[in-house]
Amino acid sequence: MNDIVSLWQVHRDAGWPKFTDSNEGELMTLDTVISGCVTYYLESEDGLDPQRVEILESCLADLNGLLPELADEAGQYFERLRTLATLLLETHHHP
């Protein structure tokens, strides 16, 4: 859990990367949804509910599809977001 907390602090402080991409809207949505799941997880005593796990898995799949096309700064930002989503899912599957 410490990994999630420290990575979340870095991600939250990073600010939105400056880039131009045709998928920027989708990326913003993915960032918002995954960030919401992280916040929920950190504030909840019960971890993620099945609905959030499903949403997170779907977001992760979408993000994996978009990552290879991103420029460096944006790539780092979304790579970190992917790591957060992956850690959350691992924590859920192996409490």
Residue 8 pLDDT grade (very low, low, confident, very high; cuts 50, 70, 90)? very high
Which tens digits make up the pLDDT trace of 24-73?
999 999 999 999 999 999 999 888 999 999 999 999 999 999 999 898 88
Q: How confident is the model at residue 95, as a pLDDT? A: 55
* Max CA separation in the chain (angstroms): 38
Which residues, including other chains, have CB under 8 Å from residue 41's CB and lie 6 or more apart? 4, 47, 48, 88, 91
In a domain, 3, yes or no: no
In a domain, 5, yes or no: no
Q: Which domain holds residue 57?
A: 23-93
How many domains does the chain contain in total?
Answer: 1
Residue 56: inside a domain: yes
H/E element, 7: helix 2-14
Q: Which whole number is the average pLDDT over 6-32?
A: 94
* pTM given for the model: 0.93
